[in-house]
Amino acid sequence: QQTGKMEPFVKLPKIDSIAGINAFGILGLYYDCHGKKLYVSSVGGSTQDDEKGSIYVIDPINGDILDQLKGYDAMGLFVGGITGQKALFFGHARSSEIFSIELSKEGKFIGKAKKELSLDGLGPRGMDKARRIRFDKFGNLLIHGIEFNYNLSAQTEKLESLYKFGYNKTENKWQLLEDVN
């Protein structure tokens, strides 16, 4: 029966936090259309000094939480692979670092997250966080960086920089190709 009444699709686990200490909840959202999984990052439970965020793998059909990666305040989620292994790339909301974690065929996390690169010292601000991460058609990693400091102050200008990284297979690391500002 269709009622037109809206209800939450998924309820994330309750957070262990003092109410009102963190105004943010979900910071990142990405749908993997090939793997048919929804990836959601939440900073619920985190404080200025304590990182308690999580990244969830959600079944978009029934809303079941299939997996969880704890201990990361993340934003800028993206699923892709440059070395033949599918991975979730995510920007760290507390630093300028970009991490990845391998994914199984079922879209679940394998092993531990590893640091891929950092935006630290790049661009006009020198401390951008990854708001959006994608690949271009050549396999380069495109990162849209913004200033983010866990506050609700309204910025008069939405300053954003685009960074392009290419993967150096000889050195097994990402290298800055272009800093487009």
pTM of this structure: 0.86
- Inform me whether the pLDDT recorded for 20 exceeds 60: no
pLDDT at 154: 52
For residue range 125-180, list pLDDT tens digits in order: 778 889 999 999 999 999 998 877 655 555 556 688 899 999 998 999 999 997 76
pLDDT category of residue 17 using cuts at 50, 70 and 90: low
Residue 48 banded pLDDT, cuts 50, 70, 90: confident
Dist. CA 20–CA 147, nearest whole Å: 23
pLDDT band, very low/low/confident/very high, at 24 (cuts 50, 70, 90): low
DSSP secondary structure of the chain: --------S--PPPP-S-TTS----EEEEEEETTTTEEEEEE-TT--SS----EEEEE-TTT--EEEEEES--EEEEEEE-SSSS-EEEEEESSSSEEEEEEE-TTS-EEEEEEEEEE-TT-TTTS--EEEEEEE-TTSPEEEEEE---S--PPPSS--EEEEEEEEETTTTEEEEEEEE-
Give the percent of the chain with pLDDT over 90: 54
**Neighbour count for residue 6 (Cβ, 10 Å):** 6
Residue 43 contacts residue 29 (beta carbons within 8 Å): no
pLDDT at res. 121? 86
8 A C-beta contact, residue 141 and residue 128: no
Query: What integer pLDDT is reported at residue 29 of this predicted model?
Result: 92
Yes or no: say if 119 and 128 are a contact pair by the CB < 8 Å rule: yes
